[in-house]
């Protein structure tokens, strides 16, 4: 069997302006795919409708283009695995959830957030370095209960049941292309949500269905998602799909040492551009933070020859901009 063609992706959520941290992740994912002669996919992860910011998708695309990061398939240009926006892919998520329910890998759950918090036996801890916020740990309340009973219980509270993955058999470790063998915390994987009671597919499910459907072979994304990876690998297994490789790149910290997030109001790529900072200067700062050898750099493409994923910095980085 020949190895599948290399396909990377960038999968931003259009919930705010792109900052240096997102740009660094996009650049590294792009360099990883392109330096191996692979294709690059842009997928817009807009499932969390209330958080979607009007105009953010267009702004993301123009920021990427300004930096010289191009893509072969995406919402603006289509491709063989369209649509490339999660809000238009509900049918695929439902089909996967039906399969998981049918073979017993998933179950219906009537618990509200409050029920889950009340039943939580221990504070959620997913291992050292874990920065994902998955909320209180689910105690398994509805697992093994007859679906009709769970549906009736949810209906009595005016809701539809959610769907959860049975995480008990999940493997806890995986190989990260940057960090080596990563081992999740001793508590293992909880029964995470696949579909919320409002019918929306959850991130964990959607990202696996999409990466598999779009033939993604290499996932390069932010370190904040490292705790999601064992969950996603378990889903690949349950759906009989081959997982991609995973690499989690360091987060960018503000000069005061805080993780860039909307809360910390990091400078957006658009505002740097408006201030007259050139794409070359931004690329240079991003490349230096990734340990790419200094040298004359004009464009993202000029960074390709020296790129090596295995050699980029593991720890969080701060960036120096002129
Ligand atoms: N949509 C996620 C985010 O913007 C990224 C998902 C992923 O790369 O798996 O944080």
Cα–Cα dist 199/94, whole Å: 9
Residue with tokens 């964990």: 204
Residue 126 clears pLDDT 60, i.e. is over it:
no
Burial of 196 (0-12, 13-18, 19+ CB in 10 A): middle
Q: Tell me the torsion sign for CA atoms 109, 111, 112, 116.
A: negative
Domains and CATH numbers, the chain: 7-88+250-318 (3.40.50.620), 90-203 (3.90.800.10)
The pLDDT assigned to 40 comes to: 98
For a substitution probing ligand 1, which of 205, 222, 226 has the most ligand atoms within 8 Å of its CB? 222
Mean pLDDT of 68-74: 98
- What pLDDT is recorded for position 125? 44
**Does ligand 1 come within 6 angstroms of the Cβ of 25?**
no
Share of the chain above pLDDT 90, in %: 69
Q: What is the pLDDT of residue 317?
A: 79
pLDDT tens digits for 280-299?
999 988 888 888 766 666 79
Q: Is the CB of 12 under 6 A from ligand 1?
A: yes
Distance CA 311, CA 257 (A): 23
3-state secondary structure the chain: CCCCCCEEEECCCCCCCCEHHHHHHHHHHHHHHHHCCCEEEECECCCCHHHCCCCHHHHHHHHHHHHCCCCCEECCCECCCCCCEHHHCHHHHHHHHHHHHHCCCEEEECCCHHHHHHHCCCCCCCCCCCCCCCCCCCCCCCCCCCHHHHHHHHHHCCCCCEEEECCCCCCCEEEECCCEEEECCCCCCCCCEEECCCCCECHHHHHHHHHHHCCCCEEEEEHHHHHHHHHHHHHHHHCCCCCCEEEEECCEECCCCCECCHHHCCCEHHHHHHCCCCHHHHHHHHHHHCCCCCCCCCCHHHHCCCCCHHHCCCCCEECCCC
Q: Is the pLDDT of residue 215 over 50?
A: yes
231 lines ligand 1 (CB under 6 A): no
C-beta 13 within 6 A of ligand 1: yes
Query: Is the confidence at residue 237, as pLDDT, over 90?
Result: yes
Q: Model confidence at 205, in pLDDT bands (50, 70, 90)?
A: very high
Ligand 1 geometric centre to CA of 146 (Å): 34
> Ligand 1 centroid to 13 CA: how many Å?
6
Q: How much is the pLDDT for 90?
A: 97
Catalytic residue among 77, 113, 168, 262: 262
- Out of 60, 207, 244, 249, mutate this one to test ligand 1's pocket (max ligand atoms within 8 Å of CB): namely 207
Backbone angles phi, psi at 65, to 5 degrees: -65, -40
Q: For ligand 1, is residue 221 a contact (CB within 6 Å)? A: yes
In this predicted structure, what is the pLDDT of residue 304? 92
The tokens describing 137, both together, are: 């740990």
What is the sign of the dihedral through the CA atoms of 280, 281, 286 and 288?
A: positive
Q: Which atom of ligand 1 is nearest to the CA of 9?
A: 8
Residue 226 near ligand 1, beta carbon < 6 Å: no
Among 230, 176, 181, 191, CA closest to 208: 230
Cβ neighbours around 236 below 10 Å, total? 15
Q: Residue 125 and residue 267: Cα distance in Å, rounded?
A: 32
- The CA 220 to ligand 1 mean position distance, Å, reads 10
Span 152-202, pLDDT tens digits:
999 999 999 999 999 998 888 999 999 999 987 667 788 999 999 999 999
Mutate-to-test residue for ligand 1 from 19, 23, 225, 230, highest number of ligand atoms within 8 A of CB: 225
Specify whether 262 is catalytic.
Answer: yes
How confident is the model over 113-125, as pLDDT tens digits?
A: 888 888 885 444 4
The model's pLDDT over 75-89, given as tens digits with 9 standing for 90+, comes to 999 999 999 999 999
- Tokens in use for 254? 């503000």
Ligand 1: atom nearest CA of 15 is 4
């Amino acid at each position: 069997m020949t190895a599948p063609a290399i396909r990377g992706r960038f999968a931003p959520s259009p919930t705010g302006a792109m900052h240096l941290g997102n740009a660094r992740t996009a650049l590294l994912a792009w360099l990883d795919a392109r330096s191996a002669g692979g294709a690059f996919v842009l997928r817009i992860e807009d499932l969390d409708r209330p958080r979607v910011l009007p105009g953010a998708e267009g702004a993301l695309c123009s920021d990427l283009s300004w930096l010289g990061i191009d893509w072969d398939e995406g919402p603006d240009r289509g491709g063989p695995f369209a649509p490339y926006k999660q809000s238009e892919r509900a049918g695929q998520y439902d089909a996967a959830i039906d399969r998981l329910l049918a073979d017993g890998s998933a179950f219906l759950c009537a618990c509200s957030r409050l029920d889950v918090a009340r039943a939580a036996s221990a504070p959620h801890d997913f291992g050292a370095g874990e920065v994902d916020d998955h909320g209180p740990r689910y105690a398994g309340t509805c697992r093994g209960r007859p679906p009709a009973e769970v549906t009736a219980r949810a209906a009595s509270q005016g809701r539809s049941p959610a769907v959860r993955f049975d995480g008990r058999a999940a493997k806890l470790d995986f190989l990260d292309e940057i960090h080596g063998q990563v081992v999740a915390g001793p508590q293992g994987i909880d029964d995470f949500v696949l579909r919320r009671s409002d019918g929306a597919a959850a991130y964990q499910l959607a990202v696996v269905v999409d990466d598999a459907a779009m033939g993604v072979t290499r996932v390069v994304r932010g370190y904040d998602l490292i705790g999601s990876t064992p969950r996603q690998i378990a889903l690949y297994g349950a759906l009989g799909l081959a997982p991609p490789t995973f690499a989690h790149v360091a987060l960018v910290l503000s000069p005061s040492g805080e993780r860039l997030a909307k809360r910390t109001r990091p400078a957006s790529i658009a505002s740097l551009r408006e201030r007259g900072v050139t794409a070359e200067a931004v690329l240079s700062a991003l490349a230096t933070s990734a340990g790419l050898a200094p040298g004359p750099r004009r464009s993202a493409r000029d960074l390709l020859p020296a790129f090596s994923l295995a050699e980029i910095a593991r720890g969080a980085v701060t960036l120096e901009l002129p």
